[in-house]
Chain A
Amino acid sequence: MSDRTERPTADEPNATTGTTGPVEAAPSATGPAEEVVEITKSGRAGHPATGGGEPLLEVRDLAVEFRTREGVARAVNGVNYSVHAGETLAVLGESGSGKSVTAQAIMGILDTPPGRIAAGRVLFRGRDLLVAPEEERRRLRGERMSMIFQDALSSLNPVLSVGYQLGEMFRVHRGASRREARERAVDLMERVRIPAARERVNDYPHQFSGGMRQRIMIAMALALEPDLIIADEPTTALDVTVQAQVMELLAELQREFHMGLILITHDLGVVADVADRIAVMYAGRIVETAPVKELYAAPAHPYTKGLLESIPRLDHKGKELYAIKGLPPSLTALPTGCSFHPRCPMATERCTTERPPLHTVLDASEAPVEGRGSACHYWKETLHG
């Protein structure tokens, strides 16, 4: 625990990411680990083999809008990202940036109406989920992809015991008997290290602490060993010491099962420890995407830069903390050009009229950096300036 208490200052990229697991695990994504997982998973029916380069999930030009009294709110405006098996993609953004809505659209649990998927494709192992029949999507949920929610207390049904809710996964998807389901529930609870699991399996959600509830939520999502997990701010509702443990557990289980993990968060500290790649969202668009190390070392978008500079640091003690001025734009009236221009210190005339595409970021020797992009006309200046 002691190394976590100074987390705000430990956000210097070299210090943290160099010592934690994900970076270590990243090379194995194409190495022997892939083979092992293929063997263990090939026993399941209807499970197409993963091609080496084919992503587990690919979101293409996804656009989601909501009909409101004030007009159409464009929550997501052409989001592109992809996750490979065994990879952790962190989707970073402030409230209302569209990160959760994107996740709901992927899972197919978006409330429609008022929501509407205006455009785009969500490819899961090459299959477009947005045109798949609802019954097929329902069977995928829980089995192949599942989701962890922010507030575990309200995400667990208060009138059912946790054992029942965990066992439900096996009864719905696997047709397990009542007794079998209960046994599997105990296994799961032990797996996420809930003390005295057997004695507590019949307890109700309100009888557990916040951290324990989130562990149960994680156990539910992981019950059927899905290929993809979307964790929507899994630690936001927890206190800081518990946050670290829950993240560690999640990262460990993800490595063990070789899952793709989409980690939605607004906490830069959480991301640094576990993510492989980061996609930064602003006003329903991806503004920057980069491997985690590079993003922390040298952001290529003024918004990302602003976020990183607004982290309190011990070596800046006594100085005024930087803040991105202004407020996030209203989704019913997005600014023209680059959505960030009203708040951007580098904005010029061009930014107010011309929307920047996601430029490929080049390194100092003019070679494209793998997986790096920035939706800024002046990414070069931001990166090197």
Chain B
Amino acid sequence: MPDVPMKATPEAATLKATQPAVPVPVDERPDSGPAPGKPRSLWSDAWHDLRRKPSFLISAGLILLFLTIAAFPGLFTDASPRDGDLTQFYLQKPQLTHFFSPEWLGYDAQGRSIYARIIHGTRASIIIGLTVTAIVFVLGSLVGMLAGYFGGWVDTVLSRVVDTFMGIPFLLGAMVILVSFDVRGPMVISLALAVLGWTTIARVMRGSVIQVKQADYVQAARSLGAGTSRILLRHILPNAIAPVIVVAMIALGGYISAEATLSYLGIGLADPAVSWGGDINFGKDSIRVASHVLIFPSIMLSATILAFLMMGDAVRDALDPKLR
């Protein structure tokens, strides 16, 4: 069994002289993993897998790029997304060889640089995606954990609340909420999406906690005197969180697309805010004469969503090799 050559000295040294020597037999030797001396936790194992996965590397690269664009749009273009010159640039075609220049991806019907607009539109999508995911993750995990761990009437009440929110159609609900606001900034949109979106996470978390709380190590921890909060935070949460992280990552793409949908419909972000959804809406009017106005924001939107979906898939595979 041991894949390491037998060494006599380390064991002999650690056997305490004060104790009657029960020699450690061959099959009790430390069974070293592939890298001796390196502790391998679930997360370090997952990271080990991920580093070698093309889909993870591509999606991580894309996400890093989008995050950089969102944080520092000035690094990518000097042109303003709001300045338009109708006389000069009205629906001008892309100059595909003029990389990163304002005219690279052409101009829209207001004479505004499309390249500048998709660069500056990234921030809204990323901020809304991350904010919704953060709220949903915290709220959903909390509710799911309490429902799953305590069961009984706590579960009954919380699960009915979850069911109620789940019964509201996502987009329709968001529209109803948003039309009641006069000013719709990224925070308002994020809250509207989060209020409707947390139920998925809560359900995943509840199921995961119910599964984990039956584990022997939870009972063992209890039999060794761990209190409820320690059991929940140290023993159940770290073991139950993996599927929730995966679902949240995949959902992030969904929230970005939901924001774009709302902006397209005219009840999300509106001028002067720059957003891909709004630009797609604007581009559809000139689709037959100048399709580039529609195409480039769409490509950005799809690439962002795809990157998060791919990332979620890769992380899921790494965390649970059995699902592959």
Contacts and interface: CB of A to CB of B under 8 A. Distances in A.
Interface string B25-36: 101111111000
Given A159-B239, A208-B31, A242-B27, A138 B220 contact: no
B11 A195 contact: yes
B31 A207 contact: yes
Contacts of B219: 109, 149, 155
B223 A195 contact: no
Interface stretch (B102-110, B123-131, B226-234): B226-234
A151 interface: yes
A349 to B, nearest CB: 44
Interface in A236-267: 239, 241-242, 245, 248-249, 252
A190 B16 contact: yes
B217 A156 contact: yes
A173 interface: yes
Contacts of A241: 25, 27
Contacts of B37: 199
A251 to B, nearest CB: 11
Given A209-B27, A245-B25, A109 B223 contact: yes
Contact of B39 (A147, A161, A173, A245): A161
B10 A147 contact: no
Interface residues of A, number: 53
Contacts of B41: 159, 161, 204
A195 B16 CA distance: 10
A156 B41 CA distance: 13
A149 B220 contact: yes
Contacts of A209: 27-31
B93 interface: no
Given A168-B234, A172-B230, A204-B39, A242 B216 contact: no
Interface string A136-151: 0011111100110101
Contacts of A173: 225
B53 interface: no
B238 A195 contact: no
A159 B225 CA distance: 19
Contacts of A142: 223-226
A147 B220 contact: yes
A158 B239 contact: yes
Contacts of A202: 39
A169 interface: yes
A308 interface: no
A109 B10 contact: no
A235 to B, nearest CB: 14
Interface string B1-35: 00000000011001110011010110111111100
A149 to B, nearest CB: 6
Interface in A145-192: 146-147, 149, 151, 154-161, 168-169, 172-173, 190-191
Contacts of B230: 172
Contacts of A220: 220, 224
Contacts of B25: 1, 241, 245
A248 B22 contact: yes
Contact of A190 (B14, B30, B239): B14
Contact of A158 (B31, B42, B227): B42
Interface residues of B, number: 40
Contacts of B15: 193, 195
B40 interface: yes
B33 A207 contact: yes
A138 B238 contact: no
Given A156-B217, A245-B25, A146 B14 contact: no
B235 interface: yes
Contact of A143 (B11, B14, B225): B225
A190 B10 CA distance: 12
Contacts of A211: 27-28
A311 interface: no
Given A109-B222, A168-B234, A173-B225, A249 B22 contact: yes
A140 B24 CA distance: 33
B30 A200 contact: yes
A249 B28 CA distance: 14
Contacts of A197: 14
Contacts of A151: 216
Contacts of B227: 138, 172
A190 B20 CA distance: 13
A141 B22 contact: no
Contact of B239 (A141, A146, A157, A199): A157
A351 interface: no
A204 B43 CA distance: 12
A132 interface: no
B223 A141 contact: yes
A146 B223 contact: yes
B215 interface: yes
B166 interface: no
B222 A141 contact: yes
Contacts of B22: 193, 245, 248-249
A196 interface: yes
Contacts of A168: 226, 234
A271 interface: no
B221 interface: yes
Most buried by B among A140, A160, A194, A212: A160
B221 to A, nearest CB: 7
A245 B28 contact: yes
Interface string A84-97: 00000000000000
A173 B239 CA distance: 23
A195 B29 contact: yes
12 contacts: A143-B225, A146-B223, A149-B216, A154-B215, A159-B43, A159-B239, A161-B39, A172-B227, A196-B11, A203-B39, A207-B31, A208-B30
The 8 closest A-B pairs by CB, nearest first: A142-B225, A142-B224, A141-B225, A154-B216, A195-B11, A147-B223, A202-B39, A155-B220
Given A141-B225, A155-B220, A157-B217, 12 more contacts: A142-B224, A159-B43, A159-B239, A193-B14, A193-B15, A194-B14, A195-B10, A204-B40, A209-B28, A211-B27, A239-B27, A242-B27
